[in-house]
Structure 1
Amino acid sequence: MIEETGIVRIVEGNTVWIETTVKSTCGSCHASENCGTSVIAKAFTNKPELLKLQAPDSLVVGQRVKLGVPESQLLSASMLVYILPLFALIFAVVLLQSLLPSAHEIWQIGLGFAAMAMSFYALRRRELNGKQKHFSPIILGAVNEDTVTMKNEIPLKKLS
């Protein structure tokens, strides 16, 4: 499970808006002072991101919570976003080449990119329709000063 800590910003019944900060991993690299990617990462500040989630327990504004995404869900989402458009591009080019062998390369490239763009559009529409709720992070528990309260209500040691 990949975990992140966030802060509850808005509570609307069972729905909460949780703010997390997107962080770059360049700060932990030993070569960050001599790396061009690190310079670019430093130019873009860490920006907060709001997530709308269903709250299993009653949470209050300002409370810190621990969020988690199972690795299997992350891998499936990555496969959809990276592999599906690539297969759409290859399939469209091969299909056009087999149906019209005399077609110019520019048409093959254009159709390939159009198929790839359509796959991105279809994935976006699927996400916006809310059919992929299982790709959303889940609230693992509330992080308090002395304890962490999980769903099973077993107090654990403070997270560092």
Structure 2
Amino acid sequence: MLEERGRIVAIESDAVWVETIQRSACNGCEAKSGCGTGLLGDFFSSSTRVRAVLNGYPANKISLNDTAVIGINENALTSSTLLVYLVPLISLLLLALLGDYLFAEAGAVIGALAGLLGGALGVRWYSRLQSANPTYTPVLLRVEPESERS
């Protein structure tokens, strides 16, 4: 299970909304303060709100601004990543080759654009089909009350 920490910003009867901060991969690096990449990563970091299912955790024991640890299955993340990156790329290459075979260079360019767009729309369609699949839903693993963080 891959875990992420965030701050609880809303509580529902069956889920919580958690605000997470997206940071660059070099946040744990010792040379962060003297590195341009680390500084740029901090500058461009942004927050994202994620709905996480309570997973049996009692909603009455959760308060706003508590630190929540949410998780998602590694296999779900890996398969989703492969789908998002490979389907548009493969469709781009296949339609570019088909366009080149049928209509030379202009066909390759048009085929590549059509393949990229078609692959992206295919991924979007598939993700909407999977939106109710609990495998791809983040779950609340544990809550650290605000008073314990100090």
User: Is the TM value for this pair above 0.5?
Assistant: yes
> Residue 88 and residue 7 in structure 1: after superposition, are their counterparts in 2 closer, same or farther (change >3 A)?
same
SS in 2 for 1:104: helix
Task: Name the aligned partner's letter for residue 62 of structure 1.
Answer: N
| Pair 1:54-2:53 in alignment | yes
Give distance in 2, aligned partners of 1:67 and 1:16: 10
Amino acid at match of 1:136: T
Q: Secondary structure at the match of 1:60?
A: coil
Correspondence for 1:151? none
Q: Distance in 2 between matches of 1:22 and 1:132?
A: 24
Q: 5+ unaligned residues in a row in structure 1: which ranges? A: 147-157
**2:52 is aligned with what amino acid?**
L
Who is 2:121 aligned against? Answer: 121
Change in Cα spacing, 1:28 to 1:81, as seen in structure 2 (3 Å) is: same
Task: Give the length in aligned residue pairs.
Answer: 143
Q: 1:90 to 1:120 in 2, by over 3 A?
A: same
- Cα displacement string for residues 77-115 of structure 1 (whole angstroms, at most 9, x for unaligned residues): 1110111111111111233344x2xx1212212211221
CA contact (8 A) 1:85 1:117 kept: yes
Structure with more helix by fraction: 2
Q: TM-score, normalised by structure 1?
A: 0.73
CA change 1:54–1:42 in 2 (3 A) is: closer
Residue of 87, 92, 95 corresponding to 2:90 = 87
Supply the distance in 2 between the matched residues of 1:111 and 1:117 (Cα, whole angstroms): 10
State percent identity of aligned pairs: 23
Change (3 A) 1:42 1:128: same
Retained in 2: the 8 A contact 1:66–1:141? yes
Map of 2:112 onto structure 1: 112
- Cα distance change on mapping 1:19 and 1:120 into 2, 3 Å: same
Tell me how far apart the structure 1 counterparts of residues 81 and 92 of structure 2 sit (CA, whole Å): 17
2:21 corresponds to: 21
Matched with 2:138 is: 137
Out of 77, 102, 120, the position equivalent to 1:74 is: 77
Any stretches of 5+ residues in structure 2 without a counterpart? none
Letter in 2 for 1:77: S
| Inter-partner Cα distance in structure 2 for 1:96 and 1:68 | 43
C-alpha distance in structure 2 between counterparts of 1:7 and 1:69, whole Å:
17
Shift in Å, 1:72: 1.4
Whether contact under 8 Å (1:126, 1:132) holds in the other structure is: no
CA drift of 1:5 comes to 1.2
| TM-score, L = length of structure 2 | 0.77
